């Protein structure tokens, strides 16, 4: 295998995944194969897998020699292979496949992994369409295998805090949920994420939009209708870079969601307006920045995902948080490690993964409806 590192002595390959003789859960760490070592694979998945008790990063798939060397340096002892075929050739030596390759490869690779008898985690978006996601979910259920979409933003510090406020009833009945994932990137970077080729599934609607839609559905349930404005604003850009999605949920809550690379003045990350109070929170969860800087969770550190008091959101009614109105609300720590801890538990126990393929399909229905709405200038009903 091209670029493979010596893994002798790290795990036994006698029998499928080292299972007990009675067919129970595997002994020792569950061995993970990671496909892709770009931003998603190297910054998010590999560090989180490696820091999860009960999981071991076994193999990284990348055809880029520089990334092979990077993976070997960052995760000593890991095996590297140049293509997914080499990974699937030794499917019996793995317990989980994580797909962090370009969006267009998600469905075929997930299908191949499931057909090889391997549980799968797929970086968002799981697929281009809800129908493709449902077909993968059907296949996973037929094979009795775990299939999960990686929606790490459910473990953002601000999102966890909103969940707690809702659970505590601090807002009363929520009327409108506003969520912004905005950036100021006036020059396109290029690459497949900004490609105008529909086959690449690029653009912010499917990139950051996958996060904000998933969060809205997780908080307030299924969508009944969708209205969207999907624009390409920057000179030379091919894919949408400034997008607004309005979701009316079946329970009557309205979610207004912005994703943009063209925002010169950033708005609040969340503004949640209820019958009793509102909550406003600025700034992004610190975990992505920490991971990009090479910091890692675990090892008993207590500061992971913690932000300073100066960034706490405010809760109140009838006053502006920008002039000190409302009460500061301590932000819960962000907890990306919880995703893979839940995956490890689900693999051991046969339980549900933390994000299901059916949930991913529901979010994709909203994204598809948003595309139709923007193209046709109308509100699209769902269901």
Q: pLDDT (tens digit, 9 = 90+) per residue, 263-274?
A: 999 999 999 999
Cα 38–283–335 angle (5° rounding)? 60
Q: Hey, which residues does 242 pair with through a beta bridge?
A: 231, 260
Non-local CB neighbours of 278 within 8 Å, separated by 6+ positions: 171, 271, 272, 315, 316, 317, 326
pLDDT tens-digit map of 171-189: 999 999 999 999 999 999 8
Q: Which residues pair with 275 in a beta bridge?
A: none
Tell me which H or E stretch contains 229.
strand 223-231
Q: For position 324, what pLDDT does the model report? A: 82
pLDDT in tens, 27-59: 699 999 999 999 999 999 999 999 999 999 999
Window from 285-294, 317-326, 339-348 with minimum mean pLDDT = 317-326
Instruction: Assess contact for 375 and 220: CB atoms under 8 A.
Output: no
Angle 130-143/106-115 helices, nearest 10 degrees? 10
Lowest-confidence pick of 10-14, 179-183, 352-356: 10-14
pLDDT tier for residue 216 given thresholds of 50, 70 and 90: very high
Task: Note whether 16 and 92 are within 8 A (CB).
Answer: yes
Q: What is the mean pLDDT of the chain?
A: 92
CATH of region 16-151+340-355: 3.40.50.720
Look at residue 26 in the predicted model and tell me its pLDDT: 53
Question: Do the two domains 16-151+340-355 and 154-335+366-381 of this chain adopt the same fold?
Answer: no
- pLDDT score, position 22: 37
Write out the two tokens for 144: 């009795």
Q: What is the mean pLDDT of residues 7-25?
A: 37
Q: What is the pLDDT of residue 302?
A: 82
Does pLDDT of 338 surpass 70?
yes
pLDDT digits (tens, 9 = 90+) for 120-162: 999 999 999 999 999 999 999 999 999 999 999 999 999 999 9
Domain locations along the chain: 16-151+340-355, 154-335+366-381
Reported pTM: 0.91
Q: Can you name the CATH fold of 154-335+366-381? A: Dihydrodipicolinate Reductase; domain 2 (3.30.360)
Residue 6 has a pLDDT of 32
| Confidence class for position 325, pLDDT limits 50, 70, 90 | confident
pLDDT for 25 beyond 80: no
Assign 3-class secondary structure to 257-282.
EEEECECCCCCCCEEEEECCCEEEEC
Helix (H, G, I), strand (E, B) or coil at 303: coil
Main-chain phi, psi angles of 186, to 5 degrees? -65, -20
Distance CA 70, CA 55 (A): 20
Tell me the residue length of the chain.
Answer: 383
DSSP single-letter state for residue 184? B
53-97 confidence digits (pLDDT tens): 999 999 999 999 999 999 999 999 999 999 999 999 999 999 999
């Amino acid at each position: 295998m091209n670029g493979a590192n010596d893994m002798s002595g790290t795990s036994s390959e006698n029998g499928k995944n080292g299972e007990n003789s009675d067919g129970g859960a595997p002994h020792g760490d569950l061995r993970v194969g990671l496909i892709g070592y770009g931003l998603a694979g190297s910054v998010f998945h590999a560090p989180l897998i490696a820091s999860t008790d009960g999981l071991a990063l076994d193999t990284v798939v990348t055809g880029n020699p520089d990334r092979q060397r990077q993976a070997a340096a960052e995760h000593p002892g890991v095996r590297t292979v140049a293509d997914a075929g080499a990974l699937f050739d030794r499917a019996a030596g793995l317990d989980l496949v994580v797909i962090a390759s370009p969006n267009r490869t998600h469905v075929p690779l997930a299908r191949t992994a499931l057909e090889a008898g391997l549980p799968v985690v797929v970086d968002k978006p799981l697929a281009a369409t809800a129908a493709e996601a449902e077909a993968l979910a059907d296949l996973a259920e037929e094979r009795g295998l775990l299939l999960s979409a990686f929606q790490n933003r459910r473990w953002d510090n601000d999102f966890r805090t909103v969940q707690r406020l809702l659970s505590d009833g601090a807002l009363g009945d929520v009327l409108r949920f506003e969520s912004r994932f905005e950036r100021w990137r006036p020059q396109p970077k290029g690459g497949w994420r900004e490609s105008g080729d529909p086959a690449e599934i690029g653009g912010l609607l499917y990139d950051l939009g996958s996060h904000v839609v998933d969060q809205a559905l997780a908080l307030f349930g299924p969508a009944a209708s969708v209205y969207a404005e999907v624009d390409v604003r920057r000179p030379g850009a091919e894919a949408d870079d400034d997008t607004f999605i309005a979701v009316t949920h079946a329970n009557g809550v309205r979610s207004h969601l912005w994703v943009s690379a063209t925002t010169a003045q950033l708005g609040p990350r969340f503004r949640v307006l209820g019958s009793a109070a509102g909550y406003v929170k600025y700034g992004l969860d610190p975990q992505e920045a920490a991971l990009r800087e090479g910091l890692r969770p675990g090892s008993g550190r207590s500061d992971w995902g913690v932000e300073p008091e100066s960034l706490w959101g405010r809760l109140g009614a009838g006053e502006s948080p920008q002039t000190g109105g409302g009460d500061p609300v301590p932000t819960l720590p962000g907890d990306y490690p919880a995703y893979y801890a839940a995956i490890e538990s689900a693999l051991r126990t046969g339980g549900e993964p933390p994000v299901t393929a059916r949930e991913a399909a529901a979010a994709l229905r909203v994204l598809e409806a948003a595309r139709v709405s923007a193209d046709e200038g109308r509100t699209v009903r769902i269901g």
